[in-house]
Amino acid sequence: MKLSIDTCALSQRAILLTLAGELDYVSAQHLRTAVTEAITGDIHEIVISLADVTFVDSTGIGTLVVARRICGDMRVNLRVRDASPFIARLFAVVGVAEALGLPQDGAWAVVPKPRLDKATQPA
């Protein structure tokens, strides 16, 4: 599935990029272009919604991190939101969740199965 990006204004100086599909090596340039176009205007904030993103690879992650750094250098706040639990967990495991502005509430955490002691195991 290709990546589509819908762009809309959140306010006069904020923009929302809603991504759908796969953010990977093939589609990352599309995101780079959208972010570049957004920061060339008089924008103070870019919000990237990942609600409809089904897959992210290392190039996609790197593209988001670099976009965040470039936006920061240009005094534009970039934050990511609406990541699925799987993608949020991936970002946390890779160590970029906080940098991308995702909540650190641990909602993505896997709850371990309880271990049974030999005394409590069925006979």
pLDDT tens digits, one per residue of 60-117: 999 999 999 999 999 999 999 999 999 999 999 999 999 998 876 555 444 344 555 5
- State if pTM tops 0.85: no
Which residue bears the tokens 């896997």? 110
Task: Judge whether 103 and 83 are in contact, CB under 8 Å.
Answer: no
Q: Where are the domains of the chain?
A: 4-94
Please state the rounded mean pLDDT for residues 22-34. 96
Question: Does residue 118 surpass a pLDDT of 60?
Answer: no
With respect to CATH, is domain 4-94 assigned 3.60.15.10?
no
Q: Give me the pLDDT at residue 41, please.
A: 82
- What is the DSSP annotation of the chain? ---EEEEEEEETTEEEEEEEEEESTTTHHHHHHHHHHHHTSS-SEEEEEEEEEEEE-HHHHHHHHHHHHHHHHTT-EEEEE---HHHHHHHHHHT-TTTTT---S-TTPPPPPPPPPTTTS--
